[in-house]
Amino acid sequence: WLIGPALVGLVLMLRRPRAYAPEWMLLALPLLVVVTFFYSPRYRVPAIPIVVIAAAWAFVYALRGRVRWPVLGTVVLGLGLGILLEPVNKHFNVDRPSRTATLYNLAYALRLEHRLDEAIDALRKGLEISPQDGPERVMLAEALAEAGRHEEAVVEFRRALSANSAAGELAIKLARSLLALERLADADQVLTAAVEREPHNVMLLAMLASTKYRAGQSGAACAYYDKALYLAPNEVPLLIEYGNVLISLGRWDEAHTQFEHALYVEPDNFLANYRMAVIAGHAGRYEEARQRFERVASIQPNNHEIVYDMGYLEMIQGHREEAIRLLRKALELNPNYEPAKDRLRELGQG
């Protein structure tokens, strides 16, 4: 309502620019922001006090000035135009967020509170009102996956991916839901197609490598791990993941290379140090293994698996008493840890 009189007030100030220059600048800058970002109410709110002051000044000037009625008429006309614009404003929802936007904002807040079923309902209602396959569809798919409803998540991820086939991140999320359903072939197909579109996407290559490994295709898995590490040679989580795969395949020397490089990048990385200790023990380098185990044990002193590995290392070296002590400590940390029970039985401590 007051924007019209406020603009009249600014124009009147321009009649004496030197006298009113500070006031004009103070009032004009917020109004310029309002005009530029008129579509967003949040940018208009700070200008309300300025608009009120400018409009009030226009009325006071009109009532005190020599040319009272023409100026007052202009001010009143500006006020009338502001009033007449209100129905137009309401019709086009300039100041009111759409119902779909409200539902999406509600869903976002509900997800933060882990109220996933309610968030999913809000997202479905929003998509019923305004069907689309953009961020809102992705949000629904993510909420479904987070809630463990992977069958439904797959449907929504596929719809979102069909509208944006180049989105590697979407392909990864779809593949995760497919893997959760043990649909390895489908996940492989999705990721392979995504890698063909984005051959230099490290995350896609790593995900495809992991999927190939789960499907028993170890050769293809290693090839994709190599491609990913060629593009990102210092990606420590990827180095560790590949190293673990190589250990499971019995390729200890190659695994050693991956973990060694991981430690070159992050010398204090817990998992890399732990795996290097295991590799040293497997290779018969017991002193090196003991030192590495002690190092990781200092980081996580209550990790029963580390204590067990230290006990087993002492056991294979024939240090019976120390082995028993460490294995019992592992059981104290986790009374249900069967490997420690088995080793103690082997030592006659069952």
pLDDT at 70: 60
pLDDT in tens, 222-240: 999 999 999 999 999 999 9
Between 202 and 11, residue with greater pLDDT: 202
On whether residue 345 sits in a domain, the answer given is no
CA 285-309-343 angle, 5° bins: 115
On whether residue 191 sits in a domain, the answer given is no
On whether residue 11 sits in a domain, the answer given is yes
Least confident range of 80-89, 142-151, 283-292, 334-343: 80-89
pTM: 0.68
Buried b (16+ CB within 10 A) or exposed e, 52-82: ebbbebbbebbeeeeeeeebbebbeebbeeb
Domain residue limits at 15: 3-91
On whether residue 273 sits in a domain, the answer given is no
CA distances from 15 to 11, 18, 31, 124 (A): 7, 9, 19, 57
CB 54 within 8 A of CB 30: no
pLDDT of 287 higher than 70: yes
**Which tokens in the block code for residue 201?**
């996407």
Q: How many CB atoms lie within 10 A of CB 98?
A: 12
If one counts the domains in the chain, the total is 1
pLDDT at 350: 66
On whether residue 21 sits in a domain, the answer given is yes
